[in-house]
Structure formats: C-alpha cells, structure tokens
Amino acid sequence: MTSGHRITIEPSETHVRVVRDGLTLAESRRPLVLRETGCPVRYYLPPEDVRSALLTRSDTRTHCPFKGDAAYWSVPGADDLVWAYPDPKPEVAAIRGHFCFYDTEVL
C-alpha cells in the first residue's frame, strides 16, 4: 500500500442484508468487513449468500490501484449496484469472488 493508505479486511458475524424494491438480493451473517482509508466501510458477501440469479453482469469495469480490477452487476432500475474483484491484488486476496453492494443494511 502507498504511504498513508491502508486497507484492512476481517471476517465478521455482522448480519447484513441488501434489499432493492422489496426484493432481498443478499443476506449474510459472515461478511468480510473492508476498511479503507478515505472510504466508507464496505461489506463483501460470500457468493453463497447472494442471489446472483437476480443480477445481470454489466460491461462496466473499474481499476483500483490498491485492490485491482472490479467487475459489476446490475438489477432493473439500478445499474452497477454490485461489484466484485475476480482477481484482486495479493494484499486483498480475501475478497476474491465476494460481492459488495452500494446499499447494505446492517441489522
């Protein structure tokens, strides 16, 4: 990581849920909690806890110098609502294949 920039990832038992237009897209009691300098806390959910059949893969790709290249998924009315790092940088390898949503409800 660059000087002054820090990312920590830790397993959690926090109950998180993602609901969009009354439909539960994901619910987990075993997210990874990612804290990154200058960014909000993010919950990365294991794929087994995400209703991925409700998601449509998007053409959007972004690059983070600290985490790597992200792929995105959408739902009707919400483009690029969720992302994942299929091949993250070694320092954040724990998030590989986990999904992260913009609107995560902590219960």
Domains of the chain: 7-106 (2.170.150.40)
Q: What does pTM read for this prediction?
A: 0.93
Res. 107 pLDDT band, cuts 50 70 90 = confident
Is there a contact between 28 and 107 (Cβ–Cβ < 8 Å)? no
- SS3 string, the chain, reads CCCCCCEEEEECCCCEEEEECCEEEEEECCCEEEEECCCCCEEEECHHHECHHHCEEEEEEEEECCCEEEEEEEECCEEEEEEECCCCCHHHHHHCCCEEECCCEEC
Average pLDDT over every residue of 14-31: 96
Is there a contact between 66 and 41 (Cβ–Cβ < 8 Å)? no
28-73 pLDDT tens trace: 999 999 999 999 999 999 999 999 999 999 999 999 999 999 999 9
